[in-house]
Amino acid sequence: MDYAAVVFLEIIYMIAFLALTSAGLAVVFGMMRVINLAHGEFVMIGGYTTIACAKAGINIYFAMLVVSPLVVGILGLLVERLVVRQLYGRMIDTMLATWGLSLLMVGIVTFIFGNTAVSVPAPIPGYELGEFQMGGYNLFIIGIATLLIICMWLVMRFTRLGLVARGAMQSADVASSLGYDPKRVYMWTFAVGAALSGLAGGVLAPLTGLLPSSGGAYIAKAFITVITGGAAVITGTLSSSVIFGTINQIVSFGSTPVIGEIAMLAFAVVLLRLMPQGITGRFFRNAP
């Protein structure tokens, strides 16, 4: 019974992890049709920001929930103005340029912090579930991810901001003729996406030690989650997070975590072959 609860909690945690790490990428891809391959490095820089703040004596929750998103959001704004803006409509070129940016950021972080792991202890102690020792911080991550998804849905569904964003996403021309400059919408969308990546990085920072190359671990999972999800930002990300999180953890419990990850990646390939437009390209077509 305890074991079943552990498996269940781990599955929920994996789903939350995937949703959290891919939210930023999903916003940018869903709205702008831009794949930001520097996404993993945004997450990594968010993590470094939180750790640097925590070491400087700033409250860690403030650091991860406010400082990290802010810092990475501003970075995202810069990246959009300097690079991504020049390449709208050239999808592959955007992917290549952001891939270059990701290498550049890894190089800069290595230059500043050195190629050694940094970490902070998790601020929430573990607890015992029957005979199993569980990480209490994982529950916090699940909570944050749930809250994030609900907030995103509320903003998209009920606010004027969400309306403009959805409008620009469906038809940039019409939004523009109604007086909303698509370039501005895109710019802020990219910044918000980056801020979400920064939030993910900050929240995940206490889990593992961070290296400059840590971003690579996030990008592949976030990439497949978003692409498999399809164009609808929230529904797509949520549905593919559920599918991949479940597969990953179940196979991991049956074998090793590496095999679990391989199973998830292989399943993603099969799913993409069956549904080339992603899950929301076929189901839930009109969901936000």
Partner 1 sequence: MIGDAANFTSAGRTHWGWIIAIFILLLLLPAVFDTHTPTLLGIWALFALSLGLMWGYAGILSFGHAAYFGLGAYTYAITSMNLGESTAAWIFAIVLPAFVAALIGAMMFYGRISDVYMGVITLVFSLIMAKFMGATAGDAYSIGNARLGGFNGIPAFPILNVPGDPSTPIFGTALYYVVLCCLVLCYLVSRWVLSSAFGRILLGIRENEARVELLGYNAPAYKTAIFSLSAAMAGMAGCLFASWAEIVTPALFGLGQSVEVIIWVIAGGLGTLMGPIIGAVLLGTMKLLLGGQTFIDNSLVIGAILVLVVLLLPKGLLPTVLGWRKQQGQRSVNRAHSNSMRRRGGERRQQRSAGEPDKTGHRS
User: Is 170 a residue that touches partner 1 (CB under 8 A)?
Assistant: yes
With contact defined as beta carbons under 8 Å apart, do 97 and 80 qualify? no
Residue 79, class by beta-carbon neighbours within 10 Å (0-12 exposed, 13-18 middle, 19+ buried)?
A: buried
With contact defined as beta carbons under 8 Å apart, do 207 and 17 qualify? no
Q: Considering the complex, what minimum distance in angstroms separates the CB of residue 120 from partner 1?
A: 24
Name which position in 65, 122, 164, 220 contacts partner 1 (CB under 8 A). 220
- Which residues have CB under 8 Å from 74's CB, separation 6+? 191
Q: What residues numbered 13-52 form the site for partner 1, per CB under 8 A?
A: 33, 35
With contact defined as beta carbons under 8 Å apart, do 230 and 277 qualify? yes
Residues linked to residue 129 through DSSP beta bridges, in sequence order: 132
Q: Which residue, 86 or 208, has its beta carbon nearer to partner 1?
A: 86
Name which position in 3, 8, 86, 174 contacts partner 1 (CB under 8 A). 86
Q: Which residue, 59 or 256, has its beta carbon nearer to partner 1?
A: 256
Q: Considering the complex, what minimum distance in angstroms separates the CB of residue 90 from partner 1?
A: 5
User: Is 269 a residue that touches partner 1 (CB under 8 A)?
Assistant: yes
Number of residues counted as binding partner 1 (CB under 8 A): 49
Q: What's the CA gap between 271 and 249, in Å, rounded?
A: 18
Q: What's the CA gap between 50 and 59, in Å, rounded?
A: 10
- Which residues have CB under 8 Å from 44's CB, separation 6+? 105, 106, 109, 201, 210, 212, 214, 215, 218
Q: Considering the complex, what minimum distance in angstroms separates the CB of residue 286 from partner 1?
A: 9
Tell me which DSSP letter residue 132 carries: E
Name which position in 53, 192, 238, 268 contacts partner 1 (CB under 8 A). 268
User: Is 87 a residue that touches partner 1 (CB under 8 A)?
Assistant: yes
Q: Where does this chain touch partner 1 (CB under 8 A) — which range of 7-15, 16-24, 58-66, 100-108?
A: 100-108
Q: What's the CA gap between 161 and 138, in Å, rounded?
A: 32
Could you please report the per-residue DSSP string of 179-224?
A: T--HHHHHHHHHHHHHHHHHHHHHHHTTTS-B-GGGHHHHHHHHHH
**Cα–Cα distances in Å, from 162 out to 31, 144, 155, 230?**
11, 21, 5, 19
Q: Which residue, 33 or 157, has its beta carbon nearer to partner 1?
A: 33
User: Is 254 a residue that touches partner 1 (CB under 8 A)?
Assistant: no
Q: Considering the complex, what minimum distance in angstroms separates the CB of residue 128 from partner 1?
A: 30
Q: Considering the complex, what minimum distance in angstroms separates the CB of residue 112 from partner 1?
A: 11
Name which position in 102, 237, 241, 249 contacts partner 1 (CB under 8 A). 102
Binding residues (CB under 8 A) for partner 1: these are 33, 35, 83, 86-87, 89-93, 95-97, 99-108, 110-111, 169-171, 216, 220, 223-224, 227, 231-232, 256, 258-259, 261-262, 265-266, 268-269, 272-273, 276-277, 281
